Amino acid sequence: MTAEASERATERESSATLGERAVRGVVALGVREGGMKLVSFTGDIALYRLLTTADFGVVVPIAFLAGIVKQFTDVGLHPSVIQRKDDPRRSDLRAVFTLHLGLVTVATAIVVFAGPPMLTGWIGVDADPWMIRIFGISIWLSAFRLVPAALLERHLRFGRLAAADIAGTVWYFGAGIGFAIGAFEAWSLIIAHVGASIVSTLAVVVARPWAPIPTWRFAGLRHYLRFGAQFQGARLALMAKDSLIPLLSPRTVGVDGTGLLSWADKIASQPLTLTQLVSRVTLPTFARMQDDIERVRRGAELTLKWNAIVTLPAFAAVIAFAPEIAIYIYSEQWLPAIPALYALAASTVLVPINGLLTPILAALGRTRVILVIAVVWAVAAWALAIGLSATDLGILAIPISLAATQFAAALVLLPLARDVFDFRLLRHLARPLAAAVLAGAFGRLVLLPLLTDWVLLIQGGIVVVLLYAGLIYLMDRETVRHEAGLLFRRREPDPGEGP
């Protein structure tokens, strides 16, 4: 074999290995976090039954405010390490860590000293100042997570990241439920949030040991900051859009209304488990194939189609049985949030499209246009929400704003993806969408009168999902078999992959 032929064979094997490792990454996250999803579901039920709407209404804006301050400290360094074509040098990683440590230290000081007046003055939540100050601990420790986590993602070691997330989840529900039983009220959620972040960070550091040595040589940061500033700007803009419930609702509908909206958002987002897993793999995977547009197109269409196939039946079950979910599982105190749940479901059903196209386009270097779209999206969502909040819509104002702007964003992102890598998704969605509508209608019109307790409700949801799967198979059996084979075909591990 000639040297050129050998190189081509190596490239083909590398390509196959990359795709295989991406699938293994999703499977690793899915198997581990899928199991934890059941734990989370049970834990959420316990917390929503033990605590009041006001408890959640106080903690949701506190946790979000601390989280958005924490996001400002990244300046896109994490995704920059992932997106870079060549492996980053040790000196570059130390420069990344040093800059992030400095920014995190400043952010910690802001949360500790300025957090309480920001909470009461801007958001309108009257709470114990130490509720937000304690978040400073997890914010500062996050500086030691950035580089190890980015290296794990860059090399598609998502199994180790999933294990870290599991550790944080175990703490969150173990501590949260324990302290809620002990009548710590809103403090139960504070302890759960902060402890989960700390435990997850420590688990990542153990999973990918790396010496956090500061440096004064920052010459190599230019590339990281150029890409990262645009990427992180888009991420922060999207966070601003998603901040309507925790930041605007306390002033417009009070802490009880905020608690109701946070519950509705939680339930509407439950079907997005797979989307969240796939989105973590999307940037590193498509960044590695960014020079092959045809591979990007095939991979994007296959990924988004199957994400929709798996996600849509869960949406059908949630929409079909929303009031019964509140009554039989979470308690009747959450029933006033059902109209908001429907509106939020109309928004989140588009997340598998918008939420995956965005990182794919970023992986292809289109960060500037993504930044512009994200900023316009956030401004439009806030403007519409403020305008609707002045009407009599009550807690529906924010969900309607989120649904309307999510739809508008899809109308922009889909043509953009078609121009960049000839992406065509709509022809792949007709059958899954029709199957979801039929299965949901069957559940609502036929099964609902039979569902008189929580056990029958869960069984009814399973029937809807099984009916959907059967309809998909009948409508498109050959394509489903072929594409499922592509997704789950096993190959030998890459010899150079390492442990």
Say whether both 204 and 310 belong to one domain.
no
Most confident of 28-42, 155-169, 288-302, 409-423: 409-423
Predicted confidence band of residue 219 (pLDDT cuts 50, 70, 90): low
Residue appearing with tokens 């009747």: 332
Please determine, for residue 411, whether its predicted confidence score (pLDDT) is greater than 80.
yes
pLDDT band at 322 (very low <50, low <70, confident <90, very high): very high
Give pLDDT tens digits for 185-208.
Answer: 889 999 999 999 899 999 988 988
Q: What's CA 443's distance to the chain center, in Å?
A: 28
Both tokens of 68, joined, read: 């958005």
- Domain boundary among the residues 201, 222, 242 is at 242
Residues 413 and 373 sit within 8 Å (Cβ to Cβ) = yes
Which residue has 């029958």 as its token pair?
Answer: 456
Does residue 453 fall inside a structural domain? yes
Asked if residue 418 is part of any domain, the answer here is: yes
250 shares a domain with 150: no
Instruction: Please give the tally of structural domains in the chain.
Output: 2
Question: Using CA atoms, how far apart are residues 318 and 417, in angstroms rounded to an integer?
Answer: 30
**Per-residue pLDDT at 373:** 92
Residues 195 and 266 in one domain: no
For residue 12, the model assigns a pLDDT of 39
pLDDT beyond 80 at 352 = yes
pLDDT at 278: 65
Report residue 298 as tokens. 């095939």
Same domain (yes/no): 323, 406: yes
Quick check: 215 pLDDT over 90? no
137-149 per-position pLDDT tens digit: 888 988 888 888 8
Residue 366, pLDDT > 70, answer yes
Rounded (10°) angle between helices 426-442 and 454-488:
160
Instruction: State the chain's mean pLDDT as an integer.
Output: 81
Domain assignment present for residue 145? The answer is yes
Tell me what the mean pLDDT of segment 420-442 comes to: 84
Domain boundary among 203, 219, 242: 242
Domain span including residue 411:
245-492
- Is 179:192 a contact under the CB 8 Å cutoff? yes
| 71 within domain boundaries | yes
Specify whether 35 is located in the same domain as 172.
yes
Q: What is the pTM of this model?
A: 0.73
Residue 273 sits in the same domain as residue 305: yes
| Counts for the chain of helices (H) and strands (E), in that order | 22, 0
- pLDDT classification of 488: cutoffs 50, 70, 90: low
| Residues 328 and 344 both lie in one domain | yes
Domain membership flag for residue 13? no
- In a domain, residue 3? The reply is no
Tell whether 237 and 250 lie within a shared domain.
Answer: no
* Mean pLDDT value across residues 237-265: 89
pLDDT at res. 277: 64
From residue 52, alpha-carbon distances to 28, 347, 350, 381 in Å are 35, 26, 30, 28
pLDDT tens per residue across span 123-182? 677 788 898 899 888 889 888 888 888 888 877 677 787 788 888 888 999 999 999 998
pLDDT digits (tens, 9 = 90+) for 415-425: 998 888 888 77
Residue 121 sits in the same domain as residue 258:
no
Residue 339: how many other CB atoms lie within 10 Å: 17
Rank 33-37, 83-87, 482-486 by mean pLDDT and report only the highest.
Answer: 83-87
**335: in domain:** yes
48-82 per-residue burial string, b: 16 or more CB within 10 A, e: under 16: bebbebebbbbbbbbbbbbbbbbeebbbbbbbbbb
90-99, 300-309, 483-492 — which is least confidently predicted?
483-492
- Give the list of residues 6+ apart from residue 252 with CB closer than 8 angstroms, or none: 389, 397, 398
191, 212, 242 - which closes a domain: 242
To the nearest 10°, the Cα dihedral for 99, 100, 102, 105?
Answer: 180
Based on the fold, state whether residues 332 and 455 are members of the same structural domain. Answer: yes
Q: Is 330 a residue whose pLDDT tops 50?
A: yes
The pLDDT confidence band at residue 281, using thresholds 50, 70 and 90, is: low
User: Of the ranges 4-13, 283-292, 326-335, which one carries the lowest mean pLDDT score?
Assistant: 4-13
Over 80: is that where the pLDDT of 498 sits?
no
pLDDT at 491: 41
The per-residue pLDDT for 485 is 63
Single-letter code of the amino acid located at 145: R
- Asked whether the predicted pLDDT for residue 20 surpasses 90, the reply is no
- How much of the chain, in percent, has pLDDT values that exceed 70? 82
pLDDT higher at 76 or 63: 63
Q: What is the pLDDT of residue 3?
A: 40
Residue 223 has pLDDT above 80, yes or no: no
d(CA 121, CA 130): 16
User: Could you tell me if residue 286 is inside a domain?
Assistant: yes
User: Residue 405 pLDDT > 90, yes or no?
Assistant: yes
Same structural domain, 204 and 251:
no
Whether 224 and 82 share a structural domain: yes
Confidence of residue 368 (pLDDT cuts 50, 70, 90): confident
